[in-house]
Structure 1
Amino acid sequence: MPFSFMNSDGQNRNGPYGICCCNVAQNEAFIVMGVTAILTGILWRSVVVAPLKLVAVFLHEFSHASACWMTCGKVTGIEVNENYGGLTRTVGGSRWITLSAGYTGSVVWGAFFILMTWEKLPTRIASVVFMISCVATILVLKIQQQRLCGMRCALGMSLRFFILVLGAIPAALWVLEEKVDTKGYHPLRYCMLMVGTVCTLHALYDCIHDVFLKKINNSEQGKSDAVMFAEEICGTARCWGLLWSMIALLVTGLALYGVVVLTGKCIS
């Protein structure tokens, strides 16, 4: 099948690679991801994106846990705190694989949510995975700040409530698409594209911030993955952070290319 572009009069213009560019699905995907990236940048430090950032932190920590399990280790605990930090306690397994899996694994999760939006069924599968992630984040969330007991409890309950609301949004959109004629629009798909975009941005920001802008290595915040990797394996934290950042950017680029490939159906 030839590579095809849609020209100004609505006809396909063919090329050599078997992919259609700039159809409706692709335009919608890139518009949603672009607008989401801009709004996320503007609202990054606001409470609006806080629940989704906490879920992204859980996916980061779960990536550590998954790597530990896959290398025959044991996970003794996972924590996510209100400062968008997290901790995964492991025993055994491959330490270098486990430490590497955090930054790179979280961007893979973001790419997963983006790529699964190419058809209705994969989109719904991705939404189920996201809803499970929200529930898991609620269960492992731990408030670490020293506050009065009532304040600490109120903060924890509030964050859990908003994460629960976040997880309910895909379910509500799923029901909406089943019960209402959305006239060619796909709200659940747009929602998962937004989730994938924010998760990917969080992974990139997390890596750059922790390693290059504010290398975490203190008693209050603990050590970043890159610092621990450098201390336990070899090299320097900035060097590993740079490598993981390049891998994250590569995965992001492949996800964008994947959107073009998977949605590249042309009208003959």
Structure 2
Amino acid sequence: MQSIRGQNWDMSIVGLSVVTVAVALFFWNAPLLLPIKLFVVLLHEISHGLAAYLTGGSMERLSLTYDEGGLAHLRGGSRFLSLSAGYLGSALWGAALLRLAWAGPGVRRFAIRGMAVALGIIGLLYVRDLFTLAYVAFTALVLYGLGWQGGPRLQMAALWVIGTFSCLYAVIDIGTDILMAGPLAGIPLLGGPVRMTDAELLATITLVPAFIWGLIWSAIAIAVYFASVMVLATRRGR
């Protein structure tokens, strides 16, 4: 524990966050991390669906691909909010999971079991293709086993890693798919290529370049992550 500007900080949390981020960045493309990244993509697509429901629309189905792609098929609702919800939702899911990682053992078990049940329901209601169904079923079983048989440290580690990856997903995915595309991407009137990323779709309806949306979402994701770590470190340092 260390005092910084009159506040006690739990440096173990700060150190853990540094190590986790470093491992994630260095090994982001490692095949062993694919199941975790697909889970983060799933949270991203679920966020699209939740935004659609909250704005009067619905989600008909969702799908994942082995190359870390995802697609939520929505009907109605606010297109602006639904498109914005993907990366912002990833950051918020990540913050919630980071908080749960340091909750009590009973809360962690309940949360992981709840995630397993929720995945099962989502698979039944919204998944139509074999790959996504197999992944969702496998992940639900893993979470179910972790929630019932996993030790407290393993449960904490799982929530922490998934939470960190969910926050980082917005930054890394935006950095590789959006910011690298250039400042005019997504605006056909200005000569930018139109693709299928959330930011580029949003650019077509707002005329604000995808590059700008990418910067905004990345900044929010980074702020959410650092705020989450700071809150956890200072609370546990008291």
Do structure 1's residue 223 and structure 2's residue 196 form an aligned pair? yes
What is the count of residue pairs matched by the alignment? 226
Q: Give 1:101 shift.
A: 0.5
Partners of 2:19 and 2:56 lie apart in 1 by 41
Partners of 1:193 and 1:253 lie apart in 2 by 14
Equivalent pair of 2:109/2:147 in contact (CA under 8 Å): no
Q: Give 1:163 shift.
A: 3.5
Q: Give 1:260 shift.
A: 1.7
Aligned position for 1:254 = 227
Aligned position for 1:238 = 211
Do structure 1's residue 93 and structure 2's residue 81 form an aligned pair? no
Instruction: Specify the code of the residue in structure 1 equivalent to 2:199.
Output: A
**Residue-by-residue CA offset, 1:191-233 (whole Å, 9 max, x unaligned):** 211121122222221122221124787xxx9510111101012
Do structure 1's residue 41 and structure 2's residue 25 form an aligned pair? yes
1:83 aligned to 67, 70, 75, which one?
A: 67
The percentage of aligned residue pairs carrying the same residue is 25
Once the two structures are superposed, the pairs formed by residues 96-107 of structure 1 within 5 Å of their partners are 96-107=80-91
Partners of 2:138 and 2:58 lie apart in 1 by 31
Q: Give 1:262 shift.
A: 3.5
Equivalent pair of 2:171/2:218 in contact (CA under 8 Å): yes
Do structure 1's residue 140 and structure 2's residue 113 form an aligned pair? no
Q: 1:211 to 1:263 in 2, by over 3 A?
A: same
Partners of 1:40 and 1:163 lie apart in 2 by 20
Equivalent pair of 1:52/1:163 in contact (CA under 8 Å): no
Do structure 1's residue 195 and structure 2's residue 183 form an aligned pair? no
Equivalent pair of 2:92/2:224 in contact (CA under 8 Å): yes
Instruction: Specify the code of the residue in structure 2 equivalent to 1:206.
Output: D
Partners of 1:99 and 1:237 lie apart in 2 by 12
Equivalent pair of 2:195/2:201 in contact (CA under 8 Å): no
1:171 aligned to 138, 147, 159, which one?
A: 147
Q: Give 1:246 shift.
A: 1.1
Higher mean alpha-carbon deviation, 109-118 vs 253-262, is at: 253-262
Q: Give 1:79 shift.
A: 1.3
2:176 aligned to 198, 202, 209, which one?
A: 209
Q: TM-score, normalised by structure 2?
A: 0.79
Partners of 1:127 and 1:234 lie apart in 2 by 41
Q: Give 1:166 shift.
A: 4.5
Q: Give 1:141 shift.
A: 7.8
**Aligned-pair Cα RMSD in Å:** 3.1
Q: SS state of the match for residue 114, structure 1?
A: helix
Do structure 1's residue 32 and structure 2's residue 8 form an aligned pair? no
Aligned position for 1:21 = 9
Q: 1:250 to 1:82 in 2, by over 3 A?
A: same
Q: Give 1:72 shift.
A: 1.1
Partners of 2:41 and 2:139 lie apart in 1 by 13
Q: 1:21 to 1:223 in 2, by over 3 A?
A: same
Equivalent pair of 1:64/1:101 in contact (CA under 8 Å): yes
Partners of 1:14 and 1:50 lie apart in 2 by 38
Higher mean alpha-carbon deviation, 239-248 vs 32-41, is at: 32-41
Q: Give 1:57 shift.
A: 0.5
Instruction: Specify the code of the residue in structure 1 equivalent to 2:180.
Output: L
Give the gaps of 5 or more residues in structure 1. 7-12, 144-154, 178-185
Runs of 4 or more, structure 1, over 6 Å off, are 155-158
Higher helix share: 2
Q: SS state of the match for residue 87, structure 2?
A: helix
Equivalent pair of 1:211/1:226 in contact (CA under 8 Å): yes
Instruction: Specify the code of the residue in structure 1 equivalent to 2:84.
Output: S
